[in-house]
Structure 1
Amino acid sequence: MMTRVLCILALAATLGGCGRAGIFKSDQPMFDGQRFRTVVKTERKNRQVFAVTVHQVSKSVEGARAAADYKAKQHCIQYFGTSEIDWTVAPDADGQSLRIVENTLTFRGSCHDEAA
């Protein structure tokens, strides 16, 4: 009986980490037919102001723009309950004003705080 319980717990622990480990990539959204690694960075004391970075822009610039917008909205919804963003450098900016550095795009913005 104890062996059965241990096996069930081991199986649950193994499967529980699958989604977080990125094993199931089909859960990740696609933009312009591609998946992008995006990162939102903020100061811990001020999550309202952020920078969102998209890697591997050469796959699709339009897809990278959409991925940045998506990730930024996720961030703002999580911390402020709104998807409204005041962009300093926006994903929908004129293509000539985009600055791609080492196959990476970075956009900056600020979430609206519904509590304010």
Structure 2
Amino acid sequence: MSHAMGHLGSGLRLAALAGIAVLGLTACSVFGSRENQIEYQGIPFNGDHRALRDDRMSFVATAKPADVSLDGAIRAAEFEGVKYCISYIGTSDIDWQIGPDTPRAQMPVSDGTLTFRGTCVE
């Protein structure tokens, strides 16, 4: 599909990482120990990520409540994917199969949960 931050210039990538870090720090300060929860436009979003069993470079990232704010869920799921890749291989480069650039009508939302799939790029 597309990839977020994979082919941006290093300056833009650094700016994007800084923005994500600020979002993460904001989430920490707002929610304390709830490390998988972020706030977007005053709405708390729960996010999670997990590696695929057969390929640890690939992952699934989820966020909810997508039925309250799809924009907030998109940001939270993207944040979870970036967090996974940074912790797993030390880079935020992601090849998204289903991700933030997926057309909204094609984004998989089930029971209020948005699900992204991606692969960390070395």
Identity rate, percent: 33
**How far apart are the structure 1 equivalents of 2:76 and 2:50?**
15
Q: Which position in structure 2 is the counterpart of 1:92?
A: 101
Relative contact order (alpha carbons < 8 A, sep ≥ 6): 1 or 2 greater? 2
**Over alpha carbons, which structure has the higher Rg?**
1
Is structure 2 residue 86 aligned with structure 1 residue 80?
no
Higher strand proportion, which one?
Answer: 2
Structure 1: any 5+ residue segments left out of the alignment?
1-21
Is structure 2 residue 39 aligned with structure 1 residue 33?
no
Is structure 2 residue 73 aligned with structure 1 residue 64?
yes
Q: Is the 8 A contact 1:33 1:63 kept in 2?
A: no
Residues 35-44 or 89-98, more deviating: 35-44
Structure 2: any 5+ residue segments left out of the alignment?
1-27
Greater than 6 Å deviation, 4+ residue runs: none
Q: What is the CA distance between 1:95 and its match in structure 2? A: 1.1
Q: Is the 8 A contact 2:38 2:46 kept in 1?
A: no
Q: Which position in structure 2 is the counterpart of 1:53?
A: 62
**How far apart are the structure 2 equivalents of 1:43 and 1:34?**
29
**How far apart are the structure 2 equivalents of 1:36 and 1:51?**
16
Q: What is the CA distance between 1:26 and its match in structure 2? A: 4.8
1:30 partner SS: strand
